[in-house]
Amino acid sequence: MSRVPLALALASLAAMAAASQSERAPALAIVDPAVGRYISGLQTLRVRFDPEGLAIVRLTFAADGDPVCTRQAPPWECEWDAGQDVVAHNIRAVAVLADGARLVDSVRTEAAGFAPTVTVDVVQVPATVTDGGGRLVKGLAPKDFRIYENEKPQEISHFIGADAERELVVAVDMSGSMGPAMTTCREAVQRFFGTIRPVDHVTLLAFNDAVFTVARREALPEARLRAVDRLHAWGSTAFHDAILKGLDLLEGHRGRRALVLFSDGEDMVSHTTAADVQARIEVSATPVYVIAQGKGMREQRLKQVLDRIADVSGGRTFYTDRIEQLAGVFNEIGEDIASQYLLAYSPADSERDGSWRSIRVEVEGQKKSYAVRARQGYRALAR
C-alpha cells in the first residue's frame, strides 16, 4: 500500500483549513432598512455580524455618502432622520475588525414619490378590493382605479401595490377585565405576528391605566413573541389614548400602514375623549381595525363610535362574542392588511377651508362586481 508523502498530506490539510476558513469568513449585513424599503422620518440603522462575537473595533454608518454615526461597542445600530419625503437612499456600513480587516455592506431603499402628511396637497387613500364572492383581490394597477372627491374625478398621482411592505401597530387591552381572555388573546396575537414578513415592521402596544410599548418596531420576531407572553391583565382601560398613541407612531411612516386594536370594554381612564379620536381620524390616512368584545359589543353608543372610527379610516370592526373566535379574526385582519393598496392624489380643490371632503374609490367598470372599501374622506385643515 502506497503512502501519501508528508509534504502532500500537509498541503492537503492546509487547503482544507483554508476552505473551512473561507466558509466561515466574517460577514456584515445591514438588516434595517431592508433592500427596497420605503422609508422616511426617524429610522434605526442596524447590522448583523456573522459569526457573532467578532472583535469589532469600529462600525461606521453613512447615508447618501454622508457619515451618520460611528459605534465602537454594541448595540450596532444608529438613529438617522431620513427626512419627510419618501425618496431613494443609499445606506452603507463599514466595520473594522481587530486584525485590521474591513467588512462592508450597502442597501438601497426605494422612492414612493408622494408627501407623507395628510394635507390638502396630497391625499393618501388606503383601499381594499374584494370580488363578488368576498375574496380579496390583488394584482390591480393604477389604471384600474378611479377616485372621486366630493363626486369630482381626481387624477391618481401615486400608487403602492398590495405586496409592498407594511408598517403596523397592534394595541392590546390588558385591563383587569381581560383576565379570562388573556391566554387566548396572547395566542391570537402571536399567530398574527406569524404572518408578518421580514420587510414589514410591527410595534406592540399594551394599554390599561396607561399606554406603553411592549415591543418596538425594531424588535426581532422572537423578541416580539416573548413580549406577548409577558402581557398580563390588570387595571382599567385607556382605549382612546391607545388609538391616538398608535396613530402618532404610524403617521411618521409612509406607505402602507394600519392600526389594529383589541379591547373588551368601555374607555374608563383616558386623558383624551371620543371626540379627540374622531377629530384625529378625520385627518389621518391610517386604516384602523378594531376587535371588540364584551361591553363594546352590547352598547349601541359604543358600537357607533367604533364603527365610525373604522369606516372613516377605511378599516373594519369585528365584534366577537366568543374568545375562541379571536385567532380567526386576527388572521382575517392580517389578510385584509396584506391586500391593501395605497393611492394618492392632489385634489383639484386645494383650498384649506376646514371642510369635510368625501372620497369614493371605484375599480374601473366595477369589473367582476368588485367592491372597494376605502377611506371615506378627510377634513381639509390648514397646516
Do 152 and 171 share a structural domain?
Answer: no
Do 245 and 321 share a structural domain?
Answer: yes
Do 102 and 31 share a structural domain?
Answer: yes
Question: Which of these, 150, 118, 143, 156, lies nearest to 346 by C-alpha position?
Answer: 156
Residue 120 has pLDDT above 70, yes or no: no
Q: Report the CATH number at residue 326.
A: 3.40.50.410
Do 303 and 186 share a structural domain?
Answer: yes
Q: What share of the chain is helix, strand, coil (3-state, %, to 5)?
A: 30, 35, 40
Do 147 and 69 share a structural domain?
Answer: no
Identify each DSSP E strand in 150-297 by its residue range.
152-154, 156-160, 166-173, 201-207, 211-215, 256-263, 288-292
* C-alpha distance across the termini of the chain, in Å: 90
Do 321 and 172 share a structural domain?
Answer: yes
Q: Report the CATH number at residue 55.
A: 2.60.40.10
Do 68 and 103 share a structural domain?
Answer: yes
d(CA 328, CA 10): 62
Q: Looking at the domain assignment, is residue 62 inside a domain?
A: yes
Q: Average of pLDDT values for 221-225?
A: 90
Residue 22 has pLDDT above 60, yes or no: no
Cell of 122: 396630497
d(CA 262, CA 260): 7
Q: Looking at the domain assignment, is residue 5 inside a domain?
A: no
Check residue 375 and give its pLDDT: 94
- Specify burial of residue 326 (Cβ count, 10 A radius: 0-12, 13-18, 19+): buried
Q: Looking at the domain assignment, is residue 316 inside a domain?
A: yes
Residue 16's pLDDT band, with cuts at 50, 70 and 90, is low
* Range ranked top by mean pLDDT from 38-42, 235-239, 348-352, 363-367: 235-239
- Specify burial of residue 216 (Cβ count, 10 A radius: 0-12, 13-18, 19+): middle
Check residue 304 and give its pLDDT: 85
Q: Average of pLDDT values for 212-240?
A: 90
14, 20 contact by CB (below 8 A) = no
pLDDT in tens, 331-357: 899 999 999 999 999 998 888 888 999
pLDDT in tens, 132-165: 888 999 889 999 999 999 999 999 998 998 878 8
Instruction: Count the domains in the chain.
Output: 3
Q: Average of pLDDT values for 85-100?
A: 86
Q: Sheet of 152-154: strands edge to edge?
A: 152-154, 145-149, 356-363, 377-379
Q: Looking at the domain assignment, is residue 16 inside a domain?
A: no
Side-chain-side CA neighbours of 143 within 13 Å: the count stands at 0
Do 306 and 175 share a structural domain?
Answer: yes
Q: Looking at the domain assignment, is residue 116 inside a domain?
A: no
Q: Looking at the domain assignment, is residue 1 inside a domain?
A: no
Which residue is listed with cell 391625499? 123
The residue from 108, 142, 176 where one domain ends is 108
Q: Looking at the domain assignment, is residue 334 inside a domain?
A: yes
pTM, two decimal places: 0.70
Give, in order, the Cα–Cα distances in Å from 54 to each of 58, 60, 175. Answer: 11, 16, 44
Q: Kindly report the number of other CB atoms within 10 A of residue 25's CB atom.
A: 10
Mean pLDDT of all residues belonging to the chain: 85
Q: Average of pLDDT values for 302-306?
A: 85
d(CA 179, CA 201): 28
Residue type, 363: V
Residue 78 has pLDDT above 80, yes or no: yes
- Specify burial of residue 364 (Cβ count, 10 A radius: 0-12, 13-18, 19+): exposed
- In sequence order, what are the residues at sequence separation of 6 or more whose Cβ sits closer than 8 angstroms to the Cβ of residue 336? 128, 136, 289, 316
Do 101 and 39 share a structural domain?
Answer: yes
Residue 115's pLDDT band, with cuts at 50, 70 and 90, is very low
Residue 28 has pLDDT above 70, yes or no: yes
Do 197 and 152 share a structural domain?
Answer: no
Residue 304 belongs to domain spanning: 166-338
Q: Average of pLDDT values for 18-29?
A: 68
Residue 383's pLDDT band, with cuts at 50, 70 and 90, is low
Do 77 and 31 share a structural domain?
Answer: yes
Compute φ and ψ for 298, nearest 5 degrees. -85, -30
Check residue 2 and give its pLDDT: 46
Do 199 and 151 share a structural domain?
Answer: no
- In sequence order, what are the residues at sequence separation of 6 or more whose Cβ sits closer than 8 angstroms to the Cβ of residue 114? 86, 122, 124, 157, 158, 254, 344
d(CA 208, CA 242): 9
pLDDT in tens, 157-214: 989 988 788 899 999 999 998 888 888 889 999 989 988 888 889 999 999 998 999 9
CB crowding 145-171: b at 16 or more within 10 Å, else e: bbbebeeeebebebbbebebbbbbbbb
Residue 67 has pLDDT above 90, yes or no: no
Which residues share a beta bridge with 256?
166
Check residue 1 and give its pLDDT: 44
Q: Looking at the domain assignment, is residue 19 inside a domain?
A: no
Residue 297 has pLDDT above 70, yes or no: no
Which residue is listed with cell 378627510? 378
Q: Average of pLDDT values for 322-338?
A: 87
Check residue 220 and give its pLDDT: 86
Which residues share a beta bridge with 78?
45
Check residue 114 and give its pLDDT: 42
Residue 271's pLDDT band, with cuts at 50, 70 and 90, is confident
Residue 41 has pLDDT above 80, yes or no: no
